[in-house]
Structure 1
Amino acid sequence: MADTRVVVIGAGATGLTLAVDLARRGVEVVIFEKGAEPFAGSRGKGLQPRTLEVFDDLGVVEAISAIARPYPEVDVYDGENKIAEHVMSEVREATEDVPHPNLLMLPQWKTEEILRERLAGLGVRVSFGREVTGFEQDEDGVTVALADGETVRASYLVGADGGRSLVRKSLGIGFEGDTFETERMIVGDVRAAGLGRDRTRVWVRDGAMALAMFPLPGTDHFQFMAPLAADDPPFLTDSAFDHLVGRVTSGVTLKEIVWRSLYRVNIRMAARFRSGRVFLAGDAAHVHSPAGGQGLNTGVQDAYNLGWKLAAVLAGAPAALLDTYEAERLPVAAGVLGISTALYRRAGEGQAEAFRRGEETQQLGLAYPHSPLSEGPGSGLRAPNVRLADGRELFDLLRGPHATLLAPAGHPSPPAGIKIVAVDEPLRRAFGITSGDVLLIRPDGYVGFHGTPGKLESYLPALRTAQGRQPGSRPEKAMSRSSGGAPGSAGTSRPM
């Protein structure tokens, strides 16, 4: 029986982000993917500004920005007649507080490839072709069973295994919402002739979207999206693609179908994101319509929220820290689900505003003001970038696995795992820090505490790691029974 600290099931963007975050903190992590090969499609192609900030911290934003591009303008056609033009997302100049202001397009397979390369650089490789068939949890850990007969013992298990999540089903956690069997869409990556790559083309039929072709950066592919009518065949044959193109365009021909999938509209969310030592993240916890580019981005930020908390508890922080994962991410996921659903409905109705993406989809405004970890003015909000008086950038100082304390010069050294930055006038203005106050920025870039040093002392035990313990080392107890669900409360977990 192998032994590790965390098992991650699913090597999509969510699972890879979590594995990277854990590995850079020195946490032993194993990531299993039942597929024999990496995902080859473009499905989640939009990267929001907040996700780019996460990727900046994880060390992959430069590789992504070298290939990704802002969404091109959209031309809308009815047959051969262009009837409208839309800007999907205004291209904005970077500002001091938002260095990554634009929605970028990059095929999902490329985002995942970059994350895998980063993970490999940290000494961890995805275990492809390794299917998890079940697991059991007890007070001290989780035993994970694989199809080949191997078992792996871990302190925690994270299911990032998609909308059909074995982990969620095994735990018996409800997946509330709707699946619209009659609302089907063919999605694929294609090579095509007869259209340029400078614009996105959308064709409408009877007032509703019938076909969209997005030029994918870093490739010669287009993402092909076409809703199916009730009487259309559900088969993903070449002829089905040709039929969908031919009925609304002229002069456009498909040369090759590189990847294809049949999508049924699912709008669902798990009733809980945790049961004892097992967590859900990404599509395993919430599935979205493709509109608004929210699904992949929300999953990445699930992982970013969970990673530092798992690492801290494994290094000796109070187990109750893990309760805050569900408390923070479940309401955020519910709100984002509402945004993507509304955009999907507008697109289906052919509404012009359905093509536009504004601040509501960028995820920069998502916050945790009601979290148990939020105390004081401005707590729970994303920390903006700030240029300090000496020319340094705050984001450069935040980058890494630590928390950051903004405090007056001469403040005593903080506990291990917390970097101190002297408050200057730019920081004071940006955060509203009054004389004598301190402000703590969590490892995931959100303000956790704002108040007096005396109150900080009572706040820190919920956040900090045990003194003198290195990330990845083994405390006597990684977790106690807590309100997130007692270990073993789901009993013996097997596929349903």
Structure 2
Amino acid sequence: MGYANKRWHNIVEGAVMDDTDVLVVGAGPTGLTLACALADEGVAATVVDRQPAGANTSRAAVVNARSLEVLEPLDVARRLVAEGVRAPRFTIRDRARTLITVDFAGLPTDYPYSLMLPQSSTEAALLTRLEELGGTVVRPKVVTDVTQNRGGVTTTFDDGDTVRSRYVVGADGVHSTVRRQAGIRFDGGAYDDSFLLADVRLTGDVPDGEVILFWAGAGLTVVAPLPGGVHRIVAPVVEAPEQPSAALVQQILDSRGPGAGRIVVREVIWGSRFRIQHRIAETYRSGRLVLAGDAAHVHSPAGGQGMNLGIQDAVVLAEALAAVTAGAPDELLDDYACTRRPVARDVVAMTDRLTRLATLPRGLRPLRNTAIGGVGRIAAVRAALGWRLSGLVYRT
């Protein structure tokens, strides 16, 4: 596709020419999926990212069935499946008591499970595929200005370089420069809780093929398997530390897990903390500037939908951009927004409900668990939750 050979600024007979059809700002899962899909369609795209290679400390760990379906035509799904851990069950528990079990095994898909894989591995697989298709990521490149006119977009970087493109896609996350330059509002708010995240080695009562959401009286904790015998722990904590200790993670599991001493923390491999927001861009498009992924929507990690929503955005947007760059009316980009923004609203609403239920005041948690245990016995409820968590409900 000639990505690596594109000149940053081409001038022919005094006129600035396009360096690339599409400039993708952000090389996370959304930007890389978009670039792969555009390359597969024969569209010239250039990907830039502000981070140096290997600087990803992101938190996403779930690739759901629908994302694997849309990545299959790009020859990426099989690579992820080969590396990840298949978790065919999702359970909500009150200590040792199971309230709801969602079994993905019966879903009508070739991927009847949640695939557990660190985001860094997902990005590595997407980057490998992009390079096979002739693409690359230029980094570090920090966008400082995006100016559009009827003929195209000029993007300026902090090192003085410029790129001329027909369209710019902001896949640059919650603090998107492209969204800010486009003047698009990012409506919503933030949750009060801070969250601890730790990748740990455990022994004890921890099934490998299951993602567990503990809704104990002491609070919420997620325990999820990752490759290499590692488990990811996520828990709301008052003023979570930047580097959680093994002792703190053990305390959380003892007070919120199946029972004191039933899960033992042997080692903390990596840890962090974060806060979460719930926001949606007022529009996904301003002229030649288009948003996707966390630049367009951000929400609670409850249900593991964030990265998946962005990957699915990217595949739909690539189809629209391929048609538009081939001469179709650019109103197709509005169709992309009209298709994907309602999905984001639905996901934000679902994850908000799950988060608020999970972080109810302590006195209300026993009543909540009794209610959840009751609805968890209803097969239709379990089936509906399976369709939502797998993303299959958003098939078009």
The TM-score, its normalising length taken from structure 2, stands at 0.81
Question: Does 2:166 align with 1:150?
Answer: no
Distance 2:240 2:206 in 1: 29
The count of residues paired between Structure 1 and Structure 2 equals 354
Provide the residue aligned with 2:12 in structure 1: none
Provide the residue aligned with 2:49 in structure 1: 33
- The 1:247–1:114 alpha-carbon spacing in structure 2 relative to 1, beyond 3 Å, is closer
Partner-residue secondary structure (3-state), 1:358: helix
Structure with more strand by fraction: 2
Deviation at 1:200, TM superposition (A): 4.7
Q: Is the 8 A contact 2:172 2:295 kept in 1?
A: yes
Deviation at 1:64, TM superposition (A): 1.7
Alignment match of 2:228 (pick from 219, 226, 249): 219
Deviation at 1:196, TM superposition (A): 4.6
Alignment match of 1:122 (pick from 121, 133, 144): 133
Identity value in percent: 37
Partner-residue secondary structure (3-state), 2:98: strand
Q: Which amino acid aligns with 2:302?
A: A
Distance 2:38 2:205 in 1: 44
Deviation at 1:156, TM superposition (A): 0.5
Partner-residue secondary structure (3-state), 1:243: helix
Partner-residue secondary structure (3-state), 1:219: helix
Provide the residue aligned with 1:187 in structure 2: 197
Distance 1:60 1:150 in 2: 32
- The 1:172–1:206 alpha-carbon spacing in structure 2 relative to 1, beyond 3 Å, is same
Q: Which amino acid aligns with 1:303?
A: A
Provide the residue aligned with 1:235 in structure 2: 241
Question: Does 2:250 align with 1:245?
Answer: yes
Q: Is the 8 A contact 1:14 1:281 kept in 2?
A: yes
Map Cα deviations across residues 339-371 of structure 1 (whole Å, 9 max, x no partner). Answer: 22122223334655599642133333336xxxx
Q: Is the 8 A contact 1:48 1:102 kept in 2?
A: yes
Provide the residue aligned with 1:91 in structure 2: 104
Structure with more helix by fraction: 2
Q: Is the 8 A contact 1:7 1:30 kept in 2?
A: yes
Map Cα deviations across residues 228-271 of structure 1 (whole Å, 9 max, x no partner). Answer: 12xxx4431344x632432542552352332x332212111000
Deviation at 1:197, TM superposition (A): 5.3
Partner-residue secondary structure (3-state), 2:394: coil
Map Cα deviations across residues 176-206 of structure 1 (whole Å, 9 max, x no partner). Answer: 11112x2111123233455655255655553
Q: Is the 8 A contact 2:23 2:169 kept in 1?
A: yes
Alignment match of 1:21 (pick from 26, 30, 37): 37
Q: Which amino acid aligns with 1:20?
A: C
Q: Which amino acid aligns with 2:267?
A: K
Q: Is the 8 A contact 2:88 2:112 kept in 1?
A: no
Distance 2:247 2:83 in 1: 29
Q: Which amino acid aligns with 2:53?
A: E
Question: Does 2:287 align with 1:276?
Answer: yes
Deviation at 1:338, TM superposition (A): 1.1
Distance 2:391 2:276 in 1: 22
Distance 1:203 1:100 in 2: 25
Partner-residue secondary structure (3-state), 1:155: strand
Q: Which amino acid aligns with 1:261?
A: S
Deviation at 1:155, TM superposition (A): 0.7
- The 1:220–1:34 alpha-carbon spacing in structure 2 relative to 1, beyond 3 Å, is farther
- The 1:265–1:104 alpha-carbon spacing in structure 2 relative to 1, beyond 3 Å, is same
Distance 2:205 2:161 in 1: 51
Unmatched tracts of structure 2, length 5 or more: 1-7, 10-18, 255-259, 377-381
Q: Is the 8 A contact 1:305 1:325 kept in 2?
A: yes
- The 1:208–1:363 alpha-carbon spacing in structure 2 relative to 1, beyond 3 Å, is same
Distance 2:393 2:217 in 1: 37
Deviation at 1:173, TM superposition (A): 1.1
Map Cα deviations across residues 119-162 of structure 1 (whole Å, 9 max, x no partner). Answer: 11101112232222221111111111112221111111000011
Question: Does 2:299 align with 1:303?
Answer: no
Provide the residue aligned with 2:16 in structure 1: none
- The 1:105–1:247 alpha-carbon spacing in structure 2 relative to 1, beyond 3 Å, is closer
Partner-residue secondary structure (3-state), 1:167: helix
- The 1:24–1:129 alpha-carbon spacing in structure 2 relative to 1, beyond 3 Å, is same
- The 1:11–1:195 alpha-carbon spacing in structure 2 relative to 1, beyond 3 Å, is farther
- The 1:339–1:27 alpha-carbon spacing in structure 2 relative to 1, beyond 3 Å, is same
Q: Which amino acid aligns with 2:87?
A: P
Distance 2:320 2:211 in 1: 40
Distance 1:245 1:59 in 2: 40
Q: Which has the larger radius of gyration?
A: 1
Distance 1:135 1:200 in 2: 42
Distance 2:356 2:121 in 1: 28
The TM-score, its normalising length taken from structure 1, stands at 0.66
Alignment match of 1:255 (pick from 236, 252, 267): 267
Root-mean-square deviation (CA, aligned residues, Å) is 2.6
Alignment match of 2:150 (pick from 139, 142, 166): 139
Q: Which amino acid aligns with 1:341?
A: D
- Within-5 A mapping of 1:399-478: none
Q: Which amino acid aligns with 1:162?
A: G
Unmatched tracts of structure 1, length 5 or more: 368-381, 383-496
Partner-residue secondary structure (3-state), 1:301: helix
Distance 2:321 2:350 in 1: 29
Question: Does 2:97 align with 1:106?
Answer: no
Question: Does 2:389 align with 1:361?
Answer: yes
